[in-house]
Amino acid sequence: MTGFKRMPQCALAGKRVFIRADLNVPQDDRGAITDDTRIRASLPGIRAALSRGGAVMVTSHLGRPSEGQFNAADSLAPVAKRMSELLGRDVPLIRDWVDGGVWLAALRPGDLVLLENCRFNKGEKKDDEALARKMAKLCDVYVNDAFATAHRAEATTHGIARFAPVACAGPLLAAELDALGRALAQPKRPLVAIVGGAKVSTKLTVLKSLAAKVDVLLVGGGIANTFLLAAHGKIGKSLAEPDLVGEAKAILAAFPGKVPLPIDVVVASEFAATAKPTPKAVENVAADDMILDIGAQSILAMRAMIAMAGTIVWNGPIGVFEFEAFAAGTKALAEAVASSPAFSLAGGGDTIAAINKFSVADRIGYISTAGGAFLEFLEGKTLPAVAVLEERAN
Ligand code: 3PG
Ligand code: MG
């Protein structure tokens, strides 16, 4: 399955090297980076390109900004700052880079620049061909090292790979594919998957095929809320995707008993660190409640299921663990995964932040930088960013 070119096989000396990394790091409300794992994971690829004499430009998306305009909240500026601290050198951030210009003309072997959030460019998410062709013109070698975005066919993850003179996989992308492929080739059963987090719609759609592959599918966060809405009809003001209730019902009906839902939750009247937590049975959730964590009974049930697992796959927190009052569920989950004898794989930006916050990293079998891409890999899907590298290799 790894029929693509890898960075060590490509000549980089004196070449313009365009690296697509995933520097989509979690940030607090003031924009401070709360976990820099993805930035650190991208450094080996960047350092290798520099030391081999490449003139290096790196880009990434951050968040999900509206295309066609700059907005400071989604700027890569904090990432440029963190990267320059980690590398011990200045990392200039270039805005409006698609058409090249002075910055490109000035780029020399050994230079490194960061290209502003690629999702500010109109056409990025739609994998627009004209945009991808322009981007491809900036470089001699395109390197995709963004495993965490490999499930997206966008201009910087897919289109550019079709048109760049050379297209190859960076060391992080290659290592993640190798490690996950090995770990999931013959997983020890029961295979327990935990899928949580706030990105409801893009994850809910993968759950159907995931449910078929695993023995237990534990849901949390906004995803669980959508299932609770499907099962009980009321979740108050909680984050959910009402449009996907039909999908959630279909999954519950197709896999009876495989998708246990929380029986109790912790609610608040607002989404805030200072909100007062109130434990409740799911039947008692009121119209103005917001579910922000799972309750004590659900924690016990979750612990029992994780304790009997042969393999654990975890993506997404199950409560708003960033707020102390609503962190108990995710903390218990992190500890249960860490202390289980099962082989555990965990991935995703917020998941890594939770793993680090609860200090269990050294007791997780494998930690992937990817969340959504990791789930789609597990689902057995071809990741478009990988597929296009394979096409280029043929
Ligand atoms: C992630 O955080 O899962 C990746 O960076 C992809 O981000 P996206 O879901 O906004 O495409
Ligand atoms: Mg994310």
64 Cβ closer than 6 Å to some ligand 1 atom: yes
Q: What is the dihedral of CA 206, 208, 213, 219, to 10 degrees?
A: 80
Say how far apart CA 193 and CA 219 lie, in whole Å: 8
Atom in ligand 1 nearest the alpha carbon of residue 22: 5
Tens-level pLDDT at each residue, the chain (394 residues): 459 999 999 999 999 999 999 999 999 989 999 999 999 999 999 999 999 999 999 999 999 999 999 999 999 999 999 999 999 999 999 999 999 999 999 999 999 999 999 999 999 999 999 999 999 999 999 999 999 999 999 999 999 999 999 999 999 999 999 999 988 889 999 999 999 998 777 787 789 989 999 999 999 999 999 999 999 989 999 999 999 999 999 999 999 999 999 999 999 999 999 999 999 999 999 999 999 999 999 999 999 999 999 999 999 999 999 999 999 999 999 999 999 999 999 999 899 999 999 999 999 999 999 999 999 998 888 899 999 999 999 8
Atom of ligand 1 nearest to the CA of 373: 3
Measure the CA angle with vertex 357, ends 352 and 362; round to 5°. 65
Task: Give yes or no for residue 149 CB within 6 A of ligand 1.
Answer: yes
Which ligand places an atom closest to the C-alpha of 24?
A: 1
Answer for the pair 17, 56: CB distance below 8 angstroms, yes or no.
Answer: yes
Query: 350 CB less than 6 Å from ligand 1?
Result: no
Which residue among 170, 221, 295, 349 is the active-site one?
349
Cα 282 to Cα 55: distance, rounded to the nearest angstrom: 56
In single-letter form, the type of residue at position 128 comes to D
Which pLDDT does position 1 carry in this prediction? 47
Say whether 258 is catalytic: no
Alpha-carbon gap, residue 361 to 139, rounded angstroms: 37
> CA of 39: how far to CAs of 74, 141, 176, 281, in Å?
16, 21, 15, 40
CA proximity to 139, closest of 6, 15, 224: 15
Question: What are the backbone angles phi and psi of residue 349, rounded to the nearest 5°?
Answer: -60, -50
Q: Is 35 in the pocket of ligand 1 (CB under 6 A)?
A: no
What is the pTM (predicted TM-score) of this model? 0.90
349 lines ligand 1 (CB under 6 A): yes
Give the strands of the sheet with 191-195, arranged side by side. 216-219, 191-195, 311-315, 343-347, 366-368
Query: Which protein residue's CA is at the shortest distance from atom 6 of ligand 1?
Result: 149
pLDDT at 63 (0 to 100): 96
Could you give phi then psi for residue 216, rounded to 5 degrees?
-135, 135
CA distance 214 to 178: 21
Residue 126 CA to residue 106 CA, distance in Å, equals 30
pLDDT of the residue at 2:
52
CA distances from 207 to 191, 196, 213 (A): 14, 11, 10
- pLDDT at 8 (0 to 100): 97
Handedness of CA 310, 311, 316, 321 (dihedral sign): positive
| Known active-site residue 5 | no
Ligand 1 geometric centre to CA of 63 (Å)? 7
CA of 25 to the centre of ligand 2 (A): 7
Q: State the pLDDT at residue 330.
A: 98
Distance 361 CA to ligand 1 centre (A): 21
Mutate to test the pocket of ligand 1, among 149, 158, 223 (most ligand atoms within 8 A of CB): 149
CA gap 46, 81 in Å, rounded: 15
